Amino acid sequence: MAKRDKKLNVLMLTHIYSDVVTGGETKATWEITNALAKKGVKIHVVTLFFKTNQRKLNSNIKVYCLPLSRQTRSFDKLGMFKTFFYAIPIIFFKKIDVIHLINTQGPHPFAYWKIRPFVSTVDLQWNYDSHRFKEELSYDRFLKVEEFGLLEQKPNLLDRILGRLAVWFFKIFRLNEQLPKSVDLCAYRHKKLSYQLKEKNYQCQFVYIPVGVDIDKFRPKQEMNDESNRISFLFTGTISKRKGVEYLIRAFNIISRKYKDTELILIGPGADQTVKFFKSMVKFPKRIKFMGELSTEQIIEYTNKADVFVSPMIGLDLGINKSVIEAMACGKPIIVNQAHDSEKLDGKVGFCVKPGETGSIAEAMERFLKNPALIKIMGEKSRKFAVKNHDWSVLAERLKNAYIRLIS
């Protein structure tokens, strides 16, 4: 039985471990491991790609980057195959208690060979086969590597050989389930997921770990508030079609004809041709600003100066993303798409809109323009909601306790 005074040793398997690479899932992995380390958990990270601007990691975090690994779009079978064999000696020499596949779910071999209890973070994925948004999502998928600034490298001879071995390895042992039923603990990010998995007869333990936020870093700063009468809308994230930027700009064009004292600020990276396309849609150039990719500190500054945060993603099955939670932590009301876990927010901390419907977004924006008092009322509720439900410190404690229950 695990003792609470014993230092818990956890092996994290992740595609990219970085505090500087753009991508909500990547940043979330970085932040949850740091939060766990602050709780005294010893984290051993095995990754294909490691990048950081920080001078040193928390003393409880040790990173093992696979040698000769190349940058890839996803944690594919080759990545699973390589991390499996690379991590085996670490498990025994470092006395690992739990293995956690995070930011990617898939048929990792550790789910089948129970060397240690296996945990998988379960998330909702972009449905690139969606009939309604198929054209937009396919377009974005093609440009995704350019958006994130990760130029995919061509496989070398060793990777080509290992890639073939990985394919046969997965075929022989039938490791093809997207989420194996032999997982011991599902750390699910959206509440509806737990109901879906239980309906499919998953017998594992469950723990709810939504996207979190550093509530001390992302917080309201009253001195940054814009004292003018102008209402400012803000979007942060990848400037792409799947994030609903096209519909957001169309909606802003509509309300700008009626309300002159307003602006839209868009912050984030994007493929050159996509950004160029969006700029060509703008009807009032002086009121829409494309800021490009900024530092976290700059994003916090712009978020505090803005009045309302907008994130109209076109995914039908996606929940609340990281940028939304960060804006809420800064005390901003939100406009988000109708999706899992967002219905409880509608009319309380902001408004939910129908995915891919320009009129619905414009209507929500106009509600704030007609009644500016809502900005402060809903903004205060946003901050309280983020602190109560998405503080990384609280989520890390919850996950740590789930680990302890699992190995007990």
pLDDT of residue 123: 80
Q: Write the pLDDT tens digit of every residue in 52-94.
A: 877 678 999 999 999 877 666 678 888 899 999 999 999 999 9
What SS3 state is found at 64? strand
pLDDT of residue 89: 96
Q: For the chain, which residues score pLDDT lower than 70?
A: 1-6, 22-23, 55, 70-73, 125-135, 137-153, 223-228, 315-319, 340-341
Distance CA 180, CA 88 (A): 20
The H-assigned helical ranges of 54-179 are 77-93, 134-148, 157-172
pLDDT of residue 103: 80
Contact 47, 64 (CB under 8 A): yes
Q: How far is CA 335 from CA 311, 323, 324, 332, 388, in A?
A: 6, 12, 9, 10, 20
pLDDT of residue 273: 86
Interior CA angle at 244 toward 381 and 29, to 5°?
65
Q: Which CATH architecture group holds 222-390?
A: 3-Layer(aba) Sandwich (3.40)
Q: How far is CA 268 from CA 22, 236, 237, 271, in A?
A: 9, 6, 5, 10
Distance CA 151, CA 376 (A): 42
As to burial, measured by CB atoms within 10 angstroms (0-12 exposed, 13-18 middle, 19+ buried), residue 381 is middle
Residue with tokens 């195959």: 81
Instruction: For residue 346, list its beta bridge partners.
Output: 350
Contact 9, 405 (CB under 8 A): no
Query: Structure tokens of 192?
Result: 């509806």
CATH, domain range 9-212+391-407: 3.40.50.2000
pLDDT of residue 150: 55
Strand 288-292 relative to strand 205-208: parallel, antiparallel, unpaired?
A: unpaired
Counts for the chain of helices (H) and strands (E), in that order:
12, 13
Distance CA 269, CA 271 (A): 7
Residue with tokens 């500016």: 372
Q: Identify which of 259, 263, 261 has the alpha carbon closest to the alpha carbon of residue 310.
A: 263
Query: Structure tokens of 116?
Result: 């240690």
- CATH 3.40.50.2000 residue spans of the chain: 9-212+391-407, 222-390
Query: Structure tokens of 300?
Result: 């916090």
Distance CA 264, CA 253 (A): 10
DSSP string for 239-288: -STTTTHHHHHHHHHHHHHH-SSEEEEEES---HHHHHHHHHH-S-GGGE
pTM of the model: 0.88
> CA dihedral in degrees (160, 163, 169, 174; nearest 10)?
-140
Both ends of the chain: CA-CA distance in Å?
A: 5
Distance CA 189, CA 191 (A): 7
Distance CA 139, CA 274 (A): 9
